[in-house]
Structure 1
Amino acid sequence: METINGKKRIFYGWYIVAVCFLMMALIYAPMVSAKGLFVPAILKELKFATSAYLLTSTITSLVGVSVAALLGKLYSKKHARIVLFTCITGISVCFGMYSFAYTLTQFYIIAFFSGLFFGGATLMPVSILITAWFQKQRGLALGIAFVGSSVGAVLLSPIIGKLLVSVGWRHTYQYLAILMFCVLAPLVLIVIRQKPADKGLKPYGFGETVSSTKKSEAEWNASLKELKSLPLFWVFLFGASSIMLTGGVIVHIPSFLIKSGYQTADAALFVSIYSFVAIFGKIALGRVFDKLGARSGIIFGNGLFILSIVSLFFIKIRIMMYVMAIIYGFGTCIGTVTIPVLTARIFGPKNYGEIYGVVNTFAQLGGAFGATIIAIFLDKTGTYNASWIFVIALAAVMTIALLYSAAAGFKKIESKEKAENLNSTV
């Protein structure tokens, strides 16, 4: 709430959050969280190898990497709303075009164009818009927006599962494409504004004092040029990339469940359960970062993610499907919450857009190969066991990398503050 002329009213930034929530629900959820539901049906009809088909994810991510810097610059200009509208229109068309694909080449071409628009319609604009509109409660605002992907998966997964059985995967793609465009395109043009000044406002919490801990973290405001010379930044980029690479498991879990004796409806139920849990998991992880600090947030999120993958070895015990879904519902939140929160927490908000553009590029690069690498293990060994071992090992290494980069970053801030205090007393 904000007070204007003695009257309280909802801060306009929360409307921005609401649209971002819907973008994550209607675009990110179908393309990432529920993507695995389409895989068995497509492979059954078209007889593709799993790794060959999932190369579409790699292509989309690699193209996204190549245009991330350009999109970051475009979103910093005056016409960010038009850029967002274009990306939403483009990704809606691409999603619908999948329904007309019959060959791998056709899937690859559509995946290429999807890569041009997907990042510009989901994580990047959400992070940049909310960072611009909020100084206070930024973590909460980001958490609410990112919860959209979980809510979308919870609501859409059972619907997608039923549509896949009743009308087939082609019509399902078409229905979702229409939903994306008809809901989001008008809202973007009507509601989205690039920054508070466009509405004659200041960022939420502008000018308010913050705790000494948060103040020191926010006052580094490192430049990208400065960070490129620091090892901690490159270690952080490795950690961010690994988060998205290991996140490729979500594409495979529905297929893994079906290979383990479950039905398509069970796979859809799994997606719904973990997505429902993630609604609370994203808020919980954000609160851990806010209240207990970066170290606790990293250990909490990454630890649960690793535990969820370990539980896959026991998935043939039916109760473990539910246990795994609950644990994974918390662990998967590192893919949306940890990277933007740590980027702002360690490096500061001043140059966030530029720095996050680089971080997002490396994260997408990791995501580009995650599903494909796991599929290669599957095709070579015939089982998912080697894939799960690889994911667990990499997740352990990325946890160490993120803990190091956070600790090194905060030491850098403390050293800078001590030097500034010393100079002020001279």
Structure 2
Amino acid sequence: MSVAALRDHVFGYLNDRFFYGWVILSVAGLGLFTSGPGQSHTFSVFVDPISADLGITSTTIASAYGTATLAAALCLPVAGRLVDRFGPRRMAGAIVFLLGLACLFFGAAANFVWLALGYGFLRFFGQGALMLTSANLTSRWFARKRGTAMGLMALGFGASIAVHPPLAQFLIETVGWRQAWTYLGLLTWVQMLPAIWLLVIDSPEEKGLAPDGESRPRPEAAAAVKNSKEEDIPGLTLSEALRTPTFHLIWFSMASIAMLVTALHFYQVKIFTAQGLDPAVAAWVFPITAGTMVAMMPVVGRVLDRLKTRHALALALLVQASALLMVTQVNNVPTAIFYAALFGLNNACSMTLFGYIWPRYFGRRHLGSIQGTGQMIMVVGASLGPLPIGYAFDTFGSPSLMIQGLSVYPAACALLALLIRTPAAIPVEEHLE
């Protein structure tokens, strides 16, 4: 039996029992988990072993990492166009295979140039392309329940934060940092490639379904969907989206979230210690942030399905502004715990909005191109985020005034978000508009 025939058999068996989109959602969540080798929380464990082995400073490693992240971001629009052209199943298979090779390549790094290239490959295939493809796949299968679906999908990222750093540390202590990357590459292939080959179907229309499974209880609707064509799926092209005020209001707001979340992650320990806390306390509150994020992502998803989207985005931006103000007030354990929980809510908002907002306003037909461009802007923002706080540390000795000033950015975006409207060509349920 061919892989395609086996995939059709699995689809028929499972879809007779429940909407197959939940299977797709599970694979997409696994995709976010599998992106772990390309994420910052995994890299952080390897900084000291790489520095000692290659004889380069942590600053040099950070420079290679930042440059690679920026270069990977600039390639994301190309990845998005390829997803539109070949479909998320083929692209996800290729991306996961190349991510595994990138792990093997990185583990063999012998010098700075090799290391920088390895960072670039891992950031592009893991943090960039695989996350983009997973979100794209979920967006194709869910519309009315997209917020809930995105919140559940993002649990895969929370699981990666919980699993990959301690796993990487165990591997480093057991087999060394180079061999650790070999194991991470092999695990990437084992945990993701079979699921892609056997379970992933690009869109519900491919099987005569509609997003959310709404055609299943109505046979006449199912027949209509089955006879529909790909060109009947609503969606703006990238050039059309770029000509709307909506696109620019969204990227400006989402860049705020990406930029400042990265800055707070990057400097949390340094900010806390500058305000009188022990470094151990600063490190200890990370699990509180992660736990809050995991707990709140499904809640945020359900809110997105029920509130007007512009109002939900405005609330997320106000949470971001509040987190920035709160971090400057942390001076003891209780305030650190409160901030960690607030920052976890902020991360839940950013992760859920990441995959939700682009198909919500621009449709599914050319989602890869639009999402790739939007994600590129967000990653560029993330690469710039730590700079103003670092400047404040170096120039003023304290970042508090700079951070408080930066809080004006998301607060202003919250007001601008209220101006966002769905382009006329995109159908939307009235309660979301």
**Is the structural similarity TM-score above 0.5?**
yes
Residue-by-residue CA offset, 1:46-67 (whole Å, 9 max, x unaligned): 56354x4333443333333332
Q: Aligned equivalents of 1:171 and 1:256: distance in 2?
A: 34
When residues 258 and 57 of structure 1 are mapped into structure 2, their CA distance, relative to the original with a 3 A threshold, is farther
The normalised TM-score by structure 1 is 0.77
CA RMSD across the alignment: 3.8
**In structure 2, distance between residues paired with 1:193 and 1:103:** 41
Q: How do residues 363-382 of structure 1 correspond to structure 2 at under 5 angstroms?
A: 363-371=378-386, 374-379=389-394
Distance change in 2, residues 1:166/1:146 (3 Å) = same
**The residue matched to 1:9 in structure 2 has which SS?**
coil
Structure 1 counterpart of 2:66, one-letter code: T
- 2:158 equivalent to 1:150: yes
Pairing 1:14–2:29 present: no
Contact 1:28-1:122 at 8 Å conserved across structures: no
Give the distance between the partners of 2:298 and 2:393, measured in 1 at CA.
Answer: 34
Matched, 1:107 2:115: yes
Q: Hey, what does 1:213 align to over in structure 2?
A: none
- 1:311-344 Cα deviation digits (max 9, x unpaired): 3234441233322221111101233222432323
Of residues 298, 301, 305, the one that matches 2:320 is 305
Equivalent runs, 1:190-209 vs 2, <5 Å: 190-199=198-207, 201-206=209-214
Instruction: State which drifts further: 147-156 or 305-314.
Output: 305-314
* Structure 1 residues 19 and 178, CA gap change in structure 2 (3 angstroms): same
Residues 38, 127 of structure 2: 8 Å contact kept: no
Q: Percent identity?
A: 19
Report the TM-score when normalising by structure 2: 0.76
Task: Report the equivalent of 2:192.
Answer: 184
1:93 corresponds, among 82, 86, 101, to: 101
Question: Does 2:276 match 1:262?
Answer: no
TM-aligned CA deviation for residue 31 of structure 1: 0.8
C-alpha change, 1:83 and 1:289, in structure 2 (3 Å) is: closer
Match of residue 237, structure 1, among 251, 274, 283: 251
For 2:341 and 2:241, the matched residues in 1 are separated by: 37
Which whole-Å CA distance do the structure 2 matches of 1:366 and 1:164 have between them?
A: 32
Partner in structure 2 of residue 58 of structure 1: 66
8 Å contact from structure 1 (residues 220, 413) kept in 2: no
Taking structure 1 as reference, are residues 11 and 296 closer, same or farther at Cα in structure 2, changes over 3 Å only?
Answer: same
Contact 1:61/1:367, CA 8 A, preserved across alignment: no
Equivalent-residue separation in structure 1 for 2:401 and 2:106 (angstroms)? 31
- Map of 1:324-343 to 2, 5 A cutoff? 324-343=339-358
Deviation at 1:36, TM superposition (A): 4.3
2:315 and 2:414 in contact (8 A); partners too: no
Post-superposition shift, 1:132? Answer: 1.6
Are the aligned partners of 2:38 and 2:122 in contact in 1 as well (CA < 8 Å)?
A: no
C-alpha distance after superposition, 1:87-144 (max 9, x if no partner): 2232233345444546543432222223442355432111211122223422222221
Q: Secondary structure at the match of 1:248?
A: helix
SS of aligned partner of 1:122: helix
Q: Could you give the per-residue CA deviations for residues 19-41 of structure 1, whole angstroms, max 9, x where no partner exists?
A: 11112123248613454455566
1:238 CA displacement: 1.7
Q: Which runs of 5+ in 1 are unaligned?
A: 210-218, 418-426
Q: 1:239 Cα shift?
A: 1.7
Q: Indicate the residue corresponding to 1:48 in structure 2.
A: 57
**Structure 1 pair 83/136, CA: closer, same or farther in 2 (3 Å)?**
same
Question: Aligned partners of 2:75 and 2:20: how far apart in 1?
Answer: 30
